[in-house]
Chains A and B, each alone.
Chain A
Amino acid sequence: MMSNSTLEGPKKRRLPWSKRELPGVAMAAPGIVGLIVFVAAPFLVAVFLSFHNAQLNSPRSPNFIGITQFTRLFDDAEFWRALGNNVTFAAVVIPVQTAIALGLAMLVNQRLKGISIFRALFFLPVIFPMALVAVIWRLILARSEGGILNSIVDVITFGRVEAQDWLGNPTTALPSIILLSIWQGVGFQMIILLAGLQEIPQERYEAAQLDRANRWQQFLYVTLPGLRNTLIFVVLLTSILAFRVYDQVYILITSGGANEAATQTVLYQATTSVFDQNNLGRASAITVVFFAIVLGITILQRRLIRQESEA
C-alpha cells in the first residue's frame, strides 16, 4: 500500500490519477484515443450529418433538416432495392456458406497424409484481395463465348445453351456475386469450424459407435451439439460480413458490367451518393441505417446464444 499524496509533494498536478495508476493510463491512452477519434467520433459525425443537408467539398456548412434525409431514404425505391439485395445476399450466403464450410471442415478433419495441403488449398482464396477476386471472376463470368463458365456450360449441354451474360443479366447477376463471394470467404469459416471439430472429444464418437449410431446419427447427435458454440460464432461472423458486402459489388458494377439495379447494396448506395452527387447527408443516413442493421443482427444473435446456453 503506497499512499500517493505524500509522495507527490507540494507541486501537486491536477491529474485525476495517482502515480501508481499512471502506467496503466499511459499504456491504454493511444488505443483509446485512436478508437475515440477514428471510430466513435466519426460515428457520431454520421449521426449528426444524417440530420443535415451536407455536401462534400462545399464551402456551405451543413444545415439542419431533421429527419428529412431518412424519410427521403425510406420513400426511395432505389434504396429499398439495394436493401433487398443485401437481404437476399445474406439470406443465401449465411446458410449456404456455413453449410459448405462445415462440409469442407469435416472433409479436412480426417487423419490423412498430406491433409494440411488440402486445408491450405481450400483456405487459399481467403488471402486474395477482393479487387483481385473481382478480376478473376470477370473472366470466369465473361459474357463472351470465351468466358470459362460459358465454355463449361457449352461443353456440358453439347452446345445447346448459348453464351450468357451472367453479370449483366438481372436474374443471374446477384447469384454470380454470391458465388464468387462464397468462393473467397468459405475457407475462413472452414478453418474456424475445423478448430471447433478438433475440440470435440474422440470418445464421444466411440461411444456413439458402440451404440451403433450410423454416420448421419453421429453427425446429428455428436458433431452438431459439440460444435454449437463455434457454429453460432460462425453464423454471427458470416451475417455481419454478408451485410458489409461492398468491394466486389462496386468493382463489378463500375468495371465489370454487373447489372446495377440487381446487385447494388446499401453501402454501394452510400458511396455513390458521395462520389456522384457529393451528397454527404444521404450517405450518412444510409450509414446510420446500415449500422442499425448490423447492431440488430448482433443483439439478436447474442440473445440467441444466451438463451441456448441457459437451456
Chain B
Amino acid sequence: MTTTRKRSLRTSRWRTARSYVILTVLAAVYVAPAYYLLVGSFKPTADVLGGLRGFVPENLSFDNYRSVFDSLASDSTGYFWRFMANSIVISAAVVVVGLVINSMAAYAFARLSWRGRDKAFLIVVALVIVPFEAVAIPLLFMLNDMRNSLLVQILPFFANAFSIYLFYTFFLGLSKDVEEAARLDGLGSFGTFVRIAVPSAKPVFATVAILTFLTTWGQYLWPSLVVSDPTYRPLPLELSVFSGQMPVDWGEVLAFGALLVLPVLVFFVAFQRFFVQSLASSAVKG
C-alpha cells in the first residue's frame, strides 16, 4: 500500500516536472519571434540581422524609438502620433458604436416583437457568412468619394452580423422574469434593455469588444484600399510603408512594430484572464 502510494507520488511528481519541461521548451520556441522583436527594437540596426546573436540582449538603447519619433515628425513623412491617434479613434469608434448598435439590434430580435422581425433576422444570419474580403472591392467602388478620411475606415464596420448573433444568443438565454417584472413596473422596451438586459450581458459585451478591437486595430486590407494620404493612415498600414523604405532601418522598424502592438499588449496583460475566458465562452456558444 505505502510503496504503491510512494511510487504513484513519485510518478506524478515526475509527470509534473516533465510537463513543465515540455511546456517551457515549446513556449520558448513559440514566443521567440515576439521576443526577437522586443530585443531587436532596442538594438542598433547592424545587430538585428546578426543571426542568433539577435536574441542576445546587448547594446540596448532607446535610440530606435527616438529615431522613429524623429523621422516621423514632419509633414512629408507623417507624424507618429497622428498614426497612433488615427488607429485609436478608428478602433474606439468601431468598438463603442458597434457595441451599442449591435446589442440593440440583437435585443430587438431576441425580445421584442415587430412585423418583419423574422425575415430581417434571416438576413442577419445569412450575412454572417459574408466575409469582409468579399465586399471590400465593391465597397471601394461605392465609397470612392470618401477615400482618405477616418470616416471611411469606420463606417463599414459598425454593424456586424456576427456580433448581433453573439448578443442574440445571449439575450435568448436570459431569464425573462426580471424583464417582465420591470415591464409591469412601467419600464418601456428601451428602458428594459438598458436597465435590465445590458447589465447582465457584461461577458458578451466584453467578448464582442475584444474581438472587434483586435480585428479593427490590425486591419490592413481596407485601409490599403482607401487610404493613400498619410494624414489618415492607421498604424499597420504605416508600418508596411515604413518598413518598405529602402534601405530598411531594421532597428527603427522593430521599434515601430513594438509601438504598434504595445496598446494591445497592455490591454491583453491587464485583462488576460478575462480575455481568454470570454473568447472561449463565446466560441463554444457560437
Q: Which A residues are closer than 8 A to B by beta carbons? A: 16-17, 21-25, 27-28, 30-36, 38-43, 45-46, 49, 54, 56-57, 104, 107-108, 110, 112, 116, 118-132, 134-140, 142, 144-148, 150-152, 154-155, 183, 188, 191-192, 194-196, 199, 230, 233, 240, 244, 246-247, 250-251, 254-255, 267, 270-271, 274, 280, 283-284, 287, 290-291, 294-295, 298
Contacts and interface: CB of A to CB of B under 8 A. Distances in A.
26 contacts: A21-B113, A23-B112, A24-B108, A27-B108, A28-B104, A28-B120, A31-B102, A46-B138, A112-B20, A112-B23, A120-B272, A121-B30, A128-B261, A129-B260, A131-B237, A135-B253, A136-B36, A146-B49, A147-B49, A148-B51, A230-B284, A251-B220, A270-B137, A283-B137, A284-B137, A287-B135
B121 to A, nearest CB: 9
A130 B283 contact: no
B124 A24 contact: no
A86 B250 CA distance: 31
Given A57-B144, A104-B26, A246-B220, 12 more contacts: A30-B159, A42-B135, A46-B138, A112-B23, A120-B276, A121-B27, A131-B240, A147-B49, A155-B52, A191-B280, A199-B284, A246-B133
Decide if the interface of chain A is mainly helix, strand, loop or mixed: helix
**5 nearest A-B residue pairs (beta carbon):** A34-B159, A31-B105, A129-B218, A24-B112, A151-B51
B220 A247 contact: yes
A24 B220 CA distance: 35
Contacts of A32: 105, 120, 123-124, 159
Contacts of B279: 188, 191-192
Interface in B116-142: 116-117, 120, 123-124, 127, 129-131, 133-142
A125 to B, nearest CB: 7
A215 B188 CA distance: 57
B123 A139 contact: no
A128 to B, nearest CB: 6
Interface in B246-282: 250, 253-254, 257, 260-261, 264-265, 268, 272-273, 276, 279-281
Nearest to A195: B280
Contacts of A38: 135, 139, 155-159
B25 to A, nearest CB: 11
Contacts of B253: 135
Contacts, number: 289
B106 to A, nearest CB: 8
Nearest to B218: A129
B276 A119 contact: yes
A128 B40 contact: no
A108 B20 CA distance: 10
Contacts of B260: 129, 131-132
Contacts of A188: 279
B19 interface: yes
B13 to A, nearest CB: 12
A46 B115 contact: no
B190 A124 contact: no
A123 B276 contact: yes
A121 B101 contact: no
Quick one: which of A125, A131, A148, A254 has the most chain B CB within 10 A? A131
Quick one: which of B140, B214, B281, B284 has the most chain A CB within 10 A? B284
